[in-house]
Chain A
Amino acid sequence: DGGITQSPKYLFRKEGQNVTLSCEQNLNHDAMYWYRQDPGQGLRLIYYSQIVNDFQKGDIAEGYSVSREKKESFPLTVTSAQKNPTAFYLCASSPTSGFNEQFFGPGTRLTVL
């Protein structure tokens, strides 16, 4: 059963803490993406990776970090430098050949207490 999983579904963070959001896919996709979505807003790209051990900043990378050590995994760390991290975080993956449709995981809702 192929797909994208994200964990946890809900995450609460105290101010000043770093937290890491998990994203795993078994679709054999080369590319993976992290987006942030605020209430009533569209998707904003944080980071993306087209290949293992390589990634690029998106439009709002400040305060976030990623790693891509395995093709299947693309974890996102929300650091204490991110001043307003409360949001819905979405991970997606796509092939890098063909039509490149993105498929999304179920999301992680992060709340800063």
Chain B
Amino acid sequence: QKEVEQNSGPLSVPEGAIASLNCTYSDRGSQSFFWYRQYSGKSPELIMSIYSNGDKEDGRFTAQLNKASQYVSLLIRDSQPSDSATYLCAVNPSDGLSTNAGKSTFGDGTTLTVKP
């Protein structure tokens, strides 16, 4: 079992729809969770961080965290063609080792295509 798992996709939604991206993780004690967007040929860009159970909204993006079920999701409302990218989920470990502070485990990403 991978430490961080994402549906590889591709996920295709029509313009204006809600895109839902899911991520599960194996380390029950994980405390920090991140979503990155990566356009083709470019580097990942941090778009959302979430640390507490529940929802966190930022514009058209909502991150949802459920620690009991060990999943984190990203909702994109009113999807636009410019949202077409690969979305990477990242989780920070909970082992408390100073050598692992900030060391994230990344999922393989879900590719989203928003069709006009």
Measured CB to CB, the residues of A under 8 A from B are: 30-31, 33, 41-43, 45, 48, 50, 56, 90, 94-97, 99-107
Measured CB to CB, the residues of B under 8 A from A are: 32, 34, 36, 42-46, 49, 51, 88, 90, 92, 98-99, 101-104, 106-109
Whether A105 lies near B43 (C-beta < 8 A) is: yes
Residues of B within 8 A of A103 (CB): 46
Residues of B within 8 A of A107 (CB): 42-43
Residues of B within 8 A of A105 (CB): 43
Number of A-B contacts (CB under 8 A): 57
10 additional contacts, CB 8 Å, given A42-B108, A97-B101, A102-B34?
Answer: A31-B102, A43-B88, A48-B103, A50-B102, A99-B32, A99-B49, A100-B104, A103-B46, A104-B36, A106-B42
Whether A96 lies near B45 (C-beta < 8 A) is: no
Query: Given contacts A41-B108, A99-B32, is CB(A104)–CB(B43) below 8 Å?
Result: yes
Whether B98 lies near A50 (C-beta < 8 A) is: yes
Residues of A within 8 A of B99 (CB): 50, 56
**Whole-angstrom distance from the CB of A19 to the nearest CB of chain B?**
19
Whether B107 lies near A33 (C-beta < 8 A) is: no
Whether B32 lies near A100 (C-beta < 8 A) is: yes
Query: Given contacts A41-B108, A42-B107, A43-B106, is CB(A101)–CB(B101) below 8 Å?
Result: no
Query: Given contacts A99-B49, A100-B92, A105-B43, is CB(A33)–CB(B34) below 8 Å?
Result: no
Residues of B within 8 A of A41 (CB): 108
Distance between Cα atoms of A45 and B51 in the complex (Å): 23
Distance between Cα atoms of A90 and B83 in the complex (Å): 22
Closest to B34 in A: A101
**Whole-angstrom distance from the CB of A40 to the nearest CB of chain B?**
9
